[in-house]
Amino acid sequence: MRKTKVAVNGNGVIGKRVADAVSLQDDMLLSGVCDVSADWRIRVAASNDYSVYAFDEASGEQMKTAGIDVQGYLPDLMAASDIVVDCTPKNIAAQNIEHYKNAGLKFIVHGGEKHETTGHSFSAENNYQSAMGRDSTRVVSCNTTSIVRTLTALKKAGLLKRARGTLLRRATDPWESHLNGIMNTLVPEKDIPSHQGPDAQKVDPELDVITMAVKVPETLSHLHYWNVQLTRNSSREEILAAFASSTRTAFINYSDGLSANNAIKELMLGIGRPYGDMYEVAMWEDMLKVVDDELFYAYVVDNQAIVIPETIDAIRALTDLEADGSKSIEKTNSSLGISGSFFENML
Amino acid sequence: MRKTKVAVNGNGVIGKRVADAVSLQDDMLLSGVCDVSADWRIRVAASNDYSVYAFDEASGEQMKTAGIDVQGYLPDLMAASDIVVDCTPKNIAAQNIEHYKNAGLKFIVHGGEKHETTGHSFSAENNYQSAMGRDSTRVVSCNTTSIVRTLTALKKAGLLKRARGTLLRRATDPWESHLNGIMNTLVPEKDIPSHQGPDAQKVDPELDVITMAVKVPETLSHLHYWNVQLTRNSSREEILAAFASSTRTAFINYSDGLSANNAIKELMLGIGRPYGDMYEVAMWEDMLKVVDDELFYAYVVDNQAIVIPETIDAIRALTDLEADGSKSIEKTNSSLGISGSFFENML
Amino acid sequence: MRKTKVAVNGNGVIGKRVADAVSLQDDMLLSGVCDVSADWRIRVAASNDYSVYAFDEASGEQMKTAGIDVQGYLPDLMAASDIVVDCTPKNIAAQNIEHYKNAGLKFIVHGGEKHETTGHSFSAENNYQSAMGRDSTRVVSCNTTSIVRTLTALKKAGLLKRARGTLLRRATDPWESHLNGIMNTLVPEKDIPSHQGPDAQKVDPELDVITMAVKVPETLSHLHYWNVQLTRNSSREEILAAFASSTRTAFINYSDGLSANNAIKELMLGIGRPYGDMYEVAMWEDMLKVVDDELFYAYVVDNQAIVIPETIDAIRALTDLEADGSKSIEKTNSSLGISGSFFENML
Amino acid sequence: MRKTKVAVNGNGVIGKRVADAVSLQDDMLLSGVCDVSADWRIRVAASNDYSVYAFDEASGEQMKTAGIDVQGYLPDLMAASDIVVDCTPKNIAAQNIEHYKNAGLKFIVHGGEKHETTGHSFSAENNYQSAMGRDSTRVVSCNTTSIVRTLTALKKAGLLKRARGTLLRRATDPWESHLNGIMNTLVPEKDIPSHQGPDAQKVDPELDVITMAVKVPETLSHLHYWNVQLTRNSSREEILAAFASSTRTAFINYSDGLSANNAIKELMLGIGRPYGDMYEVAMWEDMLKVVDDELFYAYVVDNQAIVIPETIDAIRALTDLEADGSKSIEKTNSSLGISGSFFENML
């Protein structure tokens, strides 16, 4: 079986997870991980027997000093790969993209980049097909992924008229919460509408969605509150059935003790997810409310994890590994333990 | 000039502020403060030369041991007062109400109590008149006060059709944040709609308002996000003019560096407000957005302070001190330094 | 090979980890897990194919309603076991102990209980031998375990005269940080010396140790600062060698990017530890300082995990599975991936 | 009466407090406040009728645009002043110092600067006299001020042999906690001993003091834990008497409900301190413990406020306003409401 050789550039929050997920796919091969860091983070990558490449000579020297077995530099990794997933910070990514293009290498960027960098914004359950064979795509951000995923389900059911959301964003990620963060305060995003609504429309222009966003002092995950104007009066049952059509949206229940973001995180650790990652949108089933033609609901988004399965699917689409989006999704889900329910596997 | 003798029962977050505010009114006299605590909190009240009463014999003994000059017990304080403002915790208040009724004493409860306890829910700019001469009223909670205040302004301008809000509630108050709190998580309220919407309708049944609420890990203030369906297309200017009609709603600007709840708190401390209290709804002027017939905005509510001016007005209404609501409001505002703008007084 | 049948009573922070660790031992068999909860927590246990027992009939009914396959009640589990590890909350444990004693069942309690409940306090590297064949022991608390572990190493090297520590204690555990916690404050323990010093002396009366403790607003782990009076002038090298003699103390370096508790947690997740657990005392090698005959150092204690290997060793000691403490320690370490270094396995 | 004209350069956390405190002195005149900010912070200064100066032309233009009445630039302010208190950030201060020296203007810098910048480090109760008539001095940092203050008291009583402290430092100040901070973690300072010990010796080389320090996730105040080797066996009474000799150390009691940093902050707000400022070291009387010749205690330091009275005294010393340190201290204390006890004034 042909295996797509995948390079990961940037061993950060997203990069290390993409590398782990690629390693789990039977139709992919992790060609290597490239980074600038020479500290404990790259040592963890090395300990997983990933091939480590240095971004440049300076970082290569530091890695060698730290005892890392450096396989080469970014161009070497690119030469050994069919596609590169760029997981570097914003400004760096823009430069990298030029390198990939010049080398004629397919690539994927993430939600920090603008739509225009690739001309295509990806969300598997919405537009897998349109990414087939492309040179590049952008896997949209964690927040946007959750929006597209959930609203696509409502749209497919013919129920979506207009969605208005308030997004509570975790202030920083756990691994760097000693470096930057906010304390005992809330920080609204200045612009209303916030960028996530227009961003979702880059994937699907038909989505009528406006968002407001605020940074909150926790590190675990985002929390979204939605008020949706439906196309007609509906019922809880109908709405739940619509959301259940997304394989990457899973219901949780407040009555089951899952009443806060930390409890959800502990559940993920308990069921053995690496890093306690949650790839699914976790939607509270027993909080969801329908009032005539209005729908109210809340869900949790693991900002570190939700784009990982999307990225795996995007690799398949770009490299023509799988022509059927739903088959790719199923394959990815299976490899990562995504079953549509956190408990289905258990009982 | 006749002065209304006001008792404060419960020297907690609200009670101590009511006592301080009553002391500032030229038509009121603080007859005393009643509490169960014998620790630093009641010592602060005593240091203000407030007459201290003990809730019962047990607490009276503890106070005396702690060197507090105890003036008597709750019945003594009631006998010396024209009206009592009950600021005790939920379960205690229910019992107290029976005492007040039996004694034929006018009383005010706060938002923790049910509407039914008094049959009247108070918010000065909306329904001062209807409280005139009543035996009792309930000053609605901090969140509800802010909702009624802002939506009343839109309603008076003929602009309000339907309001949908997401309420981020501070998890606990600063003075007891060592006793209970939440850490690095978000805790949604189970019920959608949350109770604040229906509660606002206890003041004004015409308000079409549905809310969702979530507890967030900070202690400073609440933050509300609103999406309002207007009766027609409107403009920022028109909306701002409508909100400006409320003397207790003040604009702030993100561009002025007031970009988070903590900065607003520091401003209140800087302009000399006791405890850094903010009696006003602080609404971001430059974040507010009108899209056709939809309005989006966010504001901050100081949950410890916003009901204080309302309580002072409620005292005037119940005891017939002032027949004109707008005059009472003006009087209260003047005593507390409320001018409709945090900077107006300054420049 | 004979396998000891181990019951775990209480499926909380410690209990679920003990159950997982017992399952990894080739000389033990997890006979079952007993709890009162019928929510997501016990569903995770069930999903691991652990035999679930209900603490009493009431909880049994709730579990059955929740779809849990209940195997019986606590007495049934006790009858099917050679030893029970009690991981229930403080007051409950006291009652359970009577049951175990009446049933003639060996048992282990944890640090929340008093030394007197068993008459023996256990810390593997210090006093494994003295627990051999006993009916019961108490595995000392997380903080005390770290103290005994590190000071035993200094004592064995003949270097320990007197140790004075300041203990920063995490305020609550991640899984219940939505229920109780402290916010934006520090809460000193009233009593100086705090109880950990005397508690360490229950394991080893020769340790001259006094501690002060304070609760801090984070959920990840404890942080200890120590000032040790040595028996004589020493050097960093000698001290590091002494600490290295403990197989459950591992060095970390600030210069390696491990500069805060959150980075250490992320490392544990990165090297695949379940729940990101750290069984070792993580001591900063490059922060440690010797000034003549004084030693200064800091280390991190994972309060959820550090007692897990100790408990496994205690099971072996009580049930005569292994007469040699160092062999039991080695066996336990191997099963849990404890190697004395977080990176040794990797590079 | 001659009044010293005092300029404040930098309207930040310390600067705005110095300006307010100078305004309260009957022998000083606030000549003006200089800053670069044109946002709400300088508007608060303007609203206090302080003369506002711009640091440079660029900031002056921004201030004017924001409607601030700008009186001139830094050189203008310097020309109108007898002394300048520099409260600018680290790098800026170094440049300013050159300007002050060139202009022959006396000046005071704060603890962020090196001792060498002025050649003198100031702490009123220790070395007021040695600052008399000098051209400049450095008021040592908040942590160092508390150390010198408390250890000087023990030294004067002939009790101090050797002090070892662990310092828990608030991570950031409330007003900028939306910009930087740490979340759910602890961040040790890399260097042991930390810089505060040697810094205290810049004031008094006779103090044998070694410290370790750690950043903790709260914004209110620092918390110090100390273990002091006394010169001989002592008693609580003797130690308390020694500390009581400092007019700026005040006792608090855990048993009085003052059991955490947040409760102490609320007390300061309750007794009417501006910003809830605490100028005193707040030492727990009932936690303090003497074991033979060892002393253990903990205290809280308000990092925003503790240096304010010191700065006022330093102004008097440098400008020969008062030759007797204890008289200056008494004068300053009286103006700021410092009485050695938080309750003395009250009961």
Quote the Cα angle for B163-B167-B168, to 5°.
Answer: 160
Nearest CA in chain D to B183: D184
Q: Is A142 a catalytic residue?
A: yes
- Is C346 within a domain? no
Provide the number of structural domains found in chain B.
2
B interface test, pick of C173, C178, C219 with most B CB neighbours within 10 Å:
C178
The answer on B266 and B151 residing in a single domain is yes
Residue numbers of B between 204 and 223 with CB closer than 8 Å to C? 217-219
* CB within 8 Å of chain A, chain C residues 73-132: none
Nearest CA in chain B to A227: B164
Chain A residues in contact with D187 (beta carbon < 8 A): 178
Residue C187 touches partner D, C-beta closer than 8 Å: yes
- Residue A344: which pLDDT band, with cuts at 50, 70 and 90? low
Interface check for C46 against chain A (CB to CB < 8 A): the answer is yes
Residue A41 distance to chain C (closest CA, Å): 8
Q: How far is CA B117 from CA A25, C197, D284, in A?
A: 63, 53, 44
Closest CB to B192: pick one of A182, A212, A287: A287
Residue from the list C41, C43, C184 with its beta carbon closest to the beta carbon of A347: C43
Instruction: Kindly list the residues from chain B whose CB atom is less than 8 angstroms away from the CB atom of residue A288.
Output: 192
Same domain for A129 and A150? no
- A292-331, pLDDT tens digit by residue? 999 999 999 999 999 999 999 999 999 999 999 999 999 9
Half-sphere exposure of B209 (CA within 13 A, CB side): 32
Is position C345 within any domain?
Answer: no
A204-228 pLDDT, tens digit per residue, is: 999 999 999 999 999 999 999 999 9
pLDDT recorded at residue B347: 38
Same domain, A199 and A125: no
Query: Is C263 an 8 Å CB contact of chain A?
Result: yes
Whether residue A150 is found in the same domain as residue A294: yes
Q: Does C173 touch chain B (CB under 8 A)?
A: no
CB contact under 8 A, C262 and A174: yes
Segment A333-345 mean pLDDT:
87
* DSSP letter string, A170-201: ESS-GGGTTTS---S--EE-SSSS-THHHHHH
- Is A219 close to D184, i.e. CB distance below 8 A? yes
The pLDDT mean for chain C works out to 96
C-alpha to C-alpha distance for D325 and D330, rounded to whole angstroms: 9
pLDDT at A91: 81
Q: Are residues D130 and D153 in the same domain?
A: no
Mean pLDDT, residues C229-240:
98
Residue C255 lies in a domain: yes
Q: At residue D344, does pLDDT exceed 60?
A: no
Q: Is the pLDDT reported for residue A346 higher than 70?
A: no
Any chain B CB within 8 A of the CB of C189?
no
Distance CA B83, CA B4 (A): 8
Say yes or no for a CB contact (<8 Å) between B186 and A218.
yes
* DSSP calls for B156-212: HTT-EEEEEEEEEEESS-GGGTTTS---S--EE-SSSS-THHHHHHHH-TT--EEEE
**Domain presence at residue B342:** no
Judge whether residue B323 has pLDDT over 70: yes
A145 touches chain D (CB under 8 A): no
> Distance, in angstroms, between B230 CA and closest chain A CA?
15
Q: Check B267 against D40: CB less than 8 A apart.
A: yes
Are D178 and A172 within 8 A, CB to CB? no
Residue of A nearest to D171 (CA): A183
User: Do B178 and B289 share a domain, yes or no?
Assistant: yes
Same structural domain for residues B296 and B152?
Answer: yes
Shared domain for A329 and A268, answered yes or no, is no
Between chains, do A177 and D172 touch, taking CB under 8 Å as contact? no
Domain shared by B82 and B127, yes or no: yes
* Domain encompassing residue A278: 142-301
Decide if D178 touches B, using CB distance below 8 A: yes
C36 interfaces chain A, CB cutoff of 8 Å: no
Q: How far is C86 from chain A (nearest CA, A)?
A: 20
Q: Name the minimum distance, in Å, from the CA of D62 to any CA of chain C.
A: 35
A347, pLDDT greater than 80: no
Q: Is residue D346 in a domain?
A: no
Q: Is the full-model pTM beyond 0.95?
A: yes
- pLDDT bin (cut points 50, 70, 90) of residue B343 is confident
Mutate which of B172, B179, B183 to test chain C, going by most C C-beta atoms within 10 A?
B183
Nearest CA-CA partner of C275 in C14, C10, C7, C8? C14
Q: How confident is the model at residue A343 (pLDDT cuts 50, 70, 90)?
A: confident
Q: Are C273 and C129 part of one and the same domain? A: no
Asked if A171 reaches chain B (Cβ–Cβ under 8 Å), the answer is no
Please answer yes or no on whether D185 and C218 come within 8 Å at the CB atom: yes
Q: Is C273 among the domain residues?
A: yes
Whether residues B296 and A210 touch (CB distance < 8 A) is answered with yes
Contacts of B272 in chain D (CB under 8 A): 274
Residues C227, D225: C-beta atoms closer than 8 Å? no
Stretch A261-281: mean pLDDT, rounded? 98
Residues 6+ apart with CB under 8 A from D237: none
**Residues of B with Cβ-Cβ distance to C181 under 8 angstroms:** 180-183
Residues 6+ apart with CB under 8 A from D192: C287, C288, C289, C296, C297, C298, D212
Q: How far is A97 from chain B (nearest CA, A)?
A: 34
Q: Tell me the C-alpha distance between C109 and C91, whole Å.
A: 12
Residue showing tokens 């009446």: C102
CATH number for the domain that contains residue B201: 3.30.360.10
Residue C259 covered by a domain: yes
Residue C275 at interface with chain A, using a CB cutoff of 8 Å: yes
From chain C, pick out residues whose CB is under 8 angstroms from the CB of B179: 182
Mutate to test the interface with B, among D68, D175, D341 (most CBs of B within 10 A): D175
D343 and B43 within 8 Å at the Cβ level: the answer is yes
Q: Distance from CA of residue D76 to its chain's centroid?
A: 27
Identify the residue among B183, B189, B212, B289 best suited for mutation to test binding to A, counting A beta carbons within 10 A and taking the highest: B212
Mutate to test the interface with B, among A161, A166, A191 (most CBs of B within 10 A): A166
Q: What subunits touch chain A, counting only 3 or more CB pairs under 8 A?
A: B, C, D
Among all residues of chain B, which has the CA nearest to that of D39? B256
Residue C345 has pLDDT above 90, yes or no: no
Q: How many cross-chain Cβ pairs, C to D, lie less than 8 Å apart?
A: 126
List, for residues B92-133, the tens digit of each pLDDT value: 898 999 999 999 999 999 999 999 999 999 999 999 999 999
Q: What is the mean pLDDT of residues C247-261?
A: 97
Euclidean distance between CA atoms D104 and D107, whole angstroms: 9
Separation between Cα atoms, residue C204 and residue C122, nearest integer Å: 10
Specify the CATH number for the domain of residue B91.
3.40.50.720
Question: One-letter amino acid identity for C46?
Answer: A
Q: Are residues D255 and D155 in the same domain?
A: yes
* CB of B269 less than 8 A from some CB of D: yes
Q: How big is the A-C interface in CB pairs under 8 Å?
A: 109
Of the residues C142, C200, C283, C301, only one is catalytic, namely C142
For chain B, percent of residues with pLDDT exceeding 70 = 99
Q: ipTM for the complex?
A: 0.96
C185 contacts B177? CB cut-off 8 A: yes
Report if residue A181 sits inside a domain: yes
The catalytic position among B142, B167, B312, B317 is B142
Q: Is the pLDDT of residue A174 over 70?
A: yes
State pLDDT tens for residues B14-36: 999 999 999 999 999 999 999 99
State percent of chain A over pLDDT 90: 96
Give mean pLDDT, residues C235-264: 97
Whether residues C179 and C208 share a domain: the answer is: yes
How far is Cα of residue C89 from the mean position of the Cα atoms in its chain? 15
Nearest to A177 among D179, D185, D219 (CB): D185
Residue range D241-289, pLDDT digits in tens: 999 999 999 999 999 999 999 999 999 999 999 999 999 999 999 999 9
- % of chain D residues with pLDDT over 90: 96
